[in-house]
Chains A and B, each alone.
Chain A
Amino acid sequence: MPQETAQVNKSIFTPFNVIAGMIIFCGLIITVLRFTGGLGAVTNLDDNNPWGIWIGFDLLCGVALAAGGYVTSASCYIFGLKRFHSAVRPAILTAFLGYALVVMALHYDVGRPWRLPYPIFLSPGTTSLLFEVGLCVFLYLTVLFIEFSPAALEWLGLKKIRNLVVRLTLVLTIFGVILSTLHQSSLGALYMIAPSKLHPLWYSGYLPVFFFVSSVFAGLSMVIFEGSLAHRHLHHKMDETHLEESAGVALGFGKAAAFVMMGYVGVKFIGIAMDNNWHYLATGWGLWFLLELIGFVVVPAFMYAIAARDRNLRLVRWASILAVLGVVLNRLNISVVAFNWHLPSADRYFPSWMEIAISLFIVTIGVVVYRFVTTRMPIFYEHPDYEH
């Protein structure tokens, strides 16, 4: 302990803090611009391109990459794979932060953020898939908050409430999986209303299935990726159980992800067959589509497979990075790249630097809060009073 405080006192101007501070400062300035000048002042959005990277990256990727929460808790509590238990808390924390930041990002993107409760409480438009997404994200954020709360309650020493909440674990986990299934898939289904705008290779009646299945391996890969980052920077915060189990978590999740990814590749091609879109594969769009599917799904799937066979931890980690990038690429393709593909290039959208800066700002906030929480609360270790 004394060593730690010495480290904290050493200097607050670490490279991490300086860069994070600069991004947050930038973000705050753009925030002021956004809420005084409107979306037009900071974004490249226009009437033809109403959704940019604040939806494509912050919402779609944010939600997909926060899928680790439901995947990990389901594998541990529902499927009974107890050897993944030490991975649950970090995954729940990331998911909770991820969803909280998604909601925060939405406040930037929608025109009147103070009306965000309207669809749920005032005037529900139940025919809209966005209503479904909104309701689920709202409920799931609540579920994640409750699921995460034991860590905070242990930190605060509130034993009674903590024990009460822990008793709800199973119900919350099942509810969380239901909500995740629904909104992960509905995010894909959002685009089903616009078959005339999304490129046929990406548009499919199976869009919700694609989104759900890819969220599973996105979540698994994110847990592995995060685990490797945490190992490098937060090693001293991990207890023996966590350290012992972490290799097993990475290899087990990598193996699971590999198989799910191959299933995903299968349904993607079935989607092409269903709509008879084979001829598009020979076009430039087709090459881009194949790059996404082969380069960023099949390749990492094989990397995972080899790593799982050889029990190669380094390869699992590299594969997880590629898999995460693949999911990001897929979401951006659907929301930005292949959306409005028929428009002349002059009418197409490219994000402004301020949009990118706000996205970076939100990610940075996530990392800072993650560090704050993991260095204080029992995330990577079990609280001595509550071990079981």
Chain B
Amino acid sequence: MGISRRQFLGWLGAAGAGATAVSRAEAASNKQFDGYPGSFGILHDTTRCIGCRKCEEACNKVNELPAPEQPFDDLSVLDKTRRTRSDVFTVVNQFQKEDSQLPVFVKKQCNHCLEPACASACFVRALRKVKTGAVIYDESLCVGCRYCMVACPFNIPAYEYNEAITPRVTKCTMCHPRIEKGLLPGCVESCPKEALAFGTRERLLKTARRRIQKYPNAYIDHIYGEQEMGGTSWLTISGTHFSEIGMREDLGTQTASSFTAGPLAAVPVVVALWPVLLTGIYAISKRKDKIADEERIHAVAQTVADANEEMQVKLAKMKDSMAKEKEAAINLEVKRALEEAAKEAAESQQASEEAGSETPKEEK
């Protein structure tokens, strides 16, 4: 029975959505990418952190990691600055400020870059940024080349060096599976002092700015992660300069992919133009060879021709002289024959004259 009005409107809406999707896709193919809209992040306020290591404990439990050698309530661990390991996705480090007796505690884990260096470096797409805001790792693709660890500016990914057959790269997942289920990340949930806050990145940025504005003396006017390496989903605010609490301030605001964009762009150019250049050089060198060959052949022919001509001249001369000689010889012969004939004639004359009168004078 025909289509209902609602159905029709639904289709229209779908078509409209399709149309906008297309136009947005076109818009998206320019150089501006703003990340997944409404993706989540975590704000770490170091001024609130008391270094209780509850977040470490929760992380360990949520990710089903092996129990540590020293229990989580043993705070002597904080005496040493630590980094993330294959079985430790987050650590809290303690920094002593020079001008104050109070230490500063800083939680360290994957910062979940908006444009992750690790994902850009991965040659099997085992790492990717997903719409929740997390940068997640797919063990089933990983070859174990560890280029992600080279690429990460925050030195976060760790590797199971002692695993012989199935070593993995490990790092904080921002509790991506829990977020999908509507749960808070383990560390955020366990924090007793609200030093960690979960929410959309936009909201967290506003929160951070509000706090800095409200207590300008308590905070440095900078949100770490707003711009660093193109921005990260994990944001940190602090009362101490970040470089003093183990966070690099010299990373810049460019995304990791911008560092490799140049060489990557050069690759197809080389592929397309090298054959032209090389074949050109080859053709030129071959052509030169050919010309050299032709010149040689020509030169040889010329020499031969020259030689021939010379020979012709010589031959002609020889012929000439031979002819002359012959002529001379003939003349001589003729002369001799004539003389002979004359002599004979004279003799016969003499003989006949002897018969009549003697002519001895002519004899001599």
Contacts and interface: CB of A to CB of B under 8 A. Distances in A.
Check whether chain A touches chain B (CB < 8 angstroms). yes
Interface of A: 35-41, 43, 45-48, 50-51, 74, 77-80, 109-113, 115-116, 118-119, 122-125, 127-132, 134, 170, 174, 177-178, 181-182, 185-186, 189-197, 205, 207-208
Q: 6 shortest A-B CB distances, which residue pairs?
A: A111-B144, A80-B285, A40-B161, A189-B263, A50-B146, A50-B149
B164 interface: yes
B145 A37 contact: no
B345 to A, nearest CB: 82
Contacts of A110: 143-146
Given A37-B162, A38-B162, A111 B142 contact: yes
Interface string B145-174: 111011101010111111111111000000
B161 A128 contact: no
Given A47-B159, A127-B119, 12 more contacts: A39-B159, A40-B161, A78-B285, A79-B282, A110-B143, A115-B124, A123-B125, A129-B263, A132-B264, A178-B270, A194-B153, A196-B153
B329 interface: no
A112 B248 contact: no
B278 interface: yes
B116 to A, nearest CB: 11
Contact of A39 (B167, B257, B278): B167
19 contacts: A38-B162, A39-B159, A47-B86, A50-B150, A78-B282, A80-B289, A111-B142, A111-B143, A119-B124, A119-B143, A122-B141, A123-B125, A124-B125, A125-B122, A125-B124, A190-B150, A192-B262, A192-B263, A196-B251
B280 to A, nearest CB: 10
B275 interface: yes
Contacts of B193: none
Contacts of B121: 128-130, 193
B123 A125 contact: yes
Interface string B73-116: 00000000001111000000000000000000000000000000
B107 to A, nearest CB: 18
Contact of A127 (B120, B126, B159): B120
B43 interface: no
Contacts of A207: 263
Contacts of B251: 196
A381 B33 CA distance: 60
Given A38-B163, A79-B285, A47 B124 contact: no
B264 A50 contact: no
Contacts of A41: 162, 164
B34 interface: no
B161 A39 contact: yes
A78 B278 contact: yes
Nearest to B155: A48
A258 to B, nearest CB: 21
A313 to B, nearest CB: 27
B208 interface: no
A123 B147 contact: no
Contact of A178 (B153, B162, B260, B274): B274
Nearest to A177: B278
Contact of A193 (B86, B260, B271): B260
B203 interface: no
B163 to A, nearest CB: 5
A207 B263 CA distance: 9
What size tier do the contact residues of chain B reach?
35 or more
A194 B143 contact: no
A92 B208 CA distance: 62
A80 B282 contact: yes
B9 interface: no
Contacts of B288: 80
Contact of A190 (B147, B164, B278): B147
A125 B125 contact: yes
Nearest to B122: A125
A125 B282 CA distance: 35
Contacts of B149: 47, 50
Nearest to A207: B263
B143 A112 contact: yes
B237 interface: no
B182 to A, nearest CB: 30
A306 to B, nearest CB: 29
Contact of B167 (A79, A112, A196): A112
A119 B149 CA distance: 18
Contacts of B161: 38-40, 43, 45-46
B109 to A, nearest CB: 14
Contacts of A37: 162, 164
B263 A208 contact: yes
A353 B300 CA distance: 67
Contacts of A39: 159, 161-162, 167
Nearest to B146: A50
Nearest to B163: A38
B117 interface: yes
A127 B257 contact: yes
A79 B159 CA distance: 47
Contacts of B117: 193-194
Contacts of A129: 121, 260, 263-264
B150 A193 contact: yes
A79 B282 CA distance: 6
B266 interface: yes
A118 B282 contact: no
User: Which of B149, B270, B278 has the most CB atoms of chain A within a 10 A radius of its CB?
Assistant: B278
B364 to A, nearest CB: 84
Contacts of B69: none
Nearest to B151: A193
B328 to A, nearest CB: 60
A167 B81 CA distance: 64
Contacts of B252: 195
Contact of A182 (B119, B124, B271, B279): B271
A131 B123 contact: yes
A178 B144 contact: no
A131 B264 CA distance: 11
A131 B262 CA distance: 15
Contacts of B165: 112
Contacts of A47: 83-86, 149, 155, 157-159
Contacts of A132: 264, 267
Contacts of A45: 161
Contacts of A112: 142-144, 165-167
